[in-house]
Every structure is written in C-alpha cells, then in structure tokens.
Structure 1
C-alpha cells in the first residue's frame, strides 16, 4: 500500500473557497486554481470578481461577512460625507487591484445604521476588514488608492491570510 503524502504548510489550504456572488449573494465553491480565471456564479452566471465594490444590504451582508471564505473590506460611508465621496473612486480602483484576494464592499451608514452601531463606527469613512465574521483590522479617514492597497496588504499579512 502506497503512503499518503503528508500535508505541508504550503499545501494545507483547502482546494476550494466559498465565495458569495456580488450580484445575488449565492454561495459558490471555487477551486483555488480558478480564482484568477474570472469564475462565474453558478446561479446568475455573472462574474464573481467584477473589479468593483459590492453594495452591502441587509439581504447580502451575512453572506459576504459570515458565509463567504474571502476576507471582506467594508468602506463605511455616507452620501453627505465629503471625504467619503473623495475616497470612493480610490476604493473602487483598489478593488480592481485586490480581487480575487479580498472582496471590497461599501456600506451606507445612513441605510444600515444598525450595522454601523454593531461595529462601533464613530467616524466615516472607516474601513473594516472582516474574515469569517471576525474583525481583522480597521482604519478611519480618506486614503489614496495606493494607501488602501498597502493597508489591506499589511492587514492580510498580519492576520496570516
């Protein structure tokens, strides 16, 4: 009988990842080797990684933050906030760079005040990284695209994701 290979730290990750669709929030199992190959949702057939932030709603919040296995970076913002409007195109540009490593999302604090309260958001814009329901990192204040990308990269490294 042949010996089974012993998993090493390099290959101890599962072969697939559960990803919530940015359009209908359907959960999709995506092989890791296909993550960068524009995988499509099995339900609505839209791209799972469209290169833009997902609008968080009461209907999709739990799917993206608890059920999906991707880290999600949420920009807590409001339409009346000048710095939020200034940062918005930078956040969208960061989504193009960071997908499929993370899911970028926007949450309107005026539309979902209960979520803002749950995460104790005191100023906006605030970015919070969540992985499997747990807050990993947070920062407040408007940032240029490169600073957003760098902050997320550092947070992923520190969390070993």
Structure 2
C-alpha cells in the first residue's frame, strides 16, 4: 500500500477506487457509479460485493456476522451502527447475514453469532464472539483504525 493512497471497493457497483488517504474524510465518491464510498452506516455484504469491500480494499473492515432470529444480534445492531457513524472513515463497517450468505459464513468458520471480525485486504486481523457494549466495542476496534 502506498502511504498516500488507499484502494477502496465500492459496495454498490464493486469498482475499486484509489483515494488519497488524507482525504478519506472529505466524502469520496466511487469513480464508476458516483455513490459515496462512506455513508456512516454499515454496508450489507453479499457474495457479489464481498471481494471488492473486504478482500480488495486496503481499509480495515469490521464485519458483523449476524442472523435475523438472533436476540443478541438484534441487541448488537444499534451499537454496531453507532460505531459505524462514529468511526468511519478510519474503519469501514459491514454486516453479513449468515442465513442469506451461508457459504461466506462457513468459509470463516462462524460457529456463534454475533461474531465480529476485522479484515484488512482479505486477511483476518481479529475476531470477537458475542455482543459488546458501545465503549468496549470502540476500545476493541481502536487498534485497527487508520
């Protein structure tokens, strides 16, 4: 990675964008579809956009593996959304529905939900099983911020 630029996958069209690292907080948009690259809310991950958002992006991405029937996942959802609003663009936040995308959940050996994982360029940096309160989540993620 060049210290001056970051590659960042667009969650909407899958295009890979290069942005100046110092300007990531200035509302960068996708060069292809023109949509914002940061929206202050978690990205919905699918098989179609996983590679661009997680594997090909140099930004650290925090992924919440969850399911709609999971009580702790429902409790974690607003905490995760608030962390996205507060910590982007130093981290990127995404949610992966394990019921809708079982192959991706299986690929990472998800055994319990919610499970939070931090990735950078597709490599797992950290994993945390279970819901966390806001302060503890942000403290855990502080080490991975750009």
Q: TM-score range by the shorter chain?
A: over 0.9
After TM superposition, which residue ranges in structure 1, 4 or more long, deviate above 3 angstroms? none
> For structure 2, which runs of at least 5 residues remain unmatched after alignment?
none
1:31 to 9, 20, 23: 20
Which residue in the other structure is 1:49 paired with?
38
Q: Deviations for 1:64-90, whole angstroms, at most 9, x for unmatched residues?
A: 121111111100000000110111011
Which residue in the other structure is 2:120 paired with?
131
Q: Is this contact kept in 1: 2:12–2:49, CA < 8 A? A: no
Which residue in the other structure is 1:92 paired with?
81
Give the root-mean-square deviation of aligned CA atoms.
Answer: 1.5
TM-score by length of 2: 0.93
Aligned length: 146
Which residue in the other structure is 2:131 paired with?
142
Equivalences for residues 7-22 of structure 1 within 5 A? 13-22=2-11
Structure ranking higher on relative contact order (CA contacts 8 Å, 6+ apart): 2
Q: Is this contact kept in 2: 1:73–1:103, CA < 8 A? A: yes
Query: 2:90, 2:134 → 1: CA distance?
Result: 16
64-73 or 49-58: bigger deviation: 64-73
Q: Secondary structure at the match of 1:60?
A: helix
Q: Is this contact kept in 2: 1:78–1:108, CA < 8 A? A: yes
Q: Is this contact kept in 2: 1:94–1:146, CA < 8 A? A: no
Q: Deviations for 1:72-112, whole angstroms, at most 9, x for unmatched residues?
A: 11000000001101110110110011111111000000011
Q: Deviations for 1:3-33, whole angstroms, at most 9, x for unmatched residues?
A: xxxxxxxxx9521101112322221110112
Larger radius of gyration: 1
Which residue in the other structure is 2:58 paired with?
69
Q: Secondary structure at the match of 2:48?
A: coil
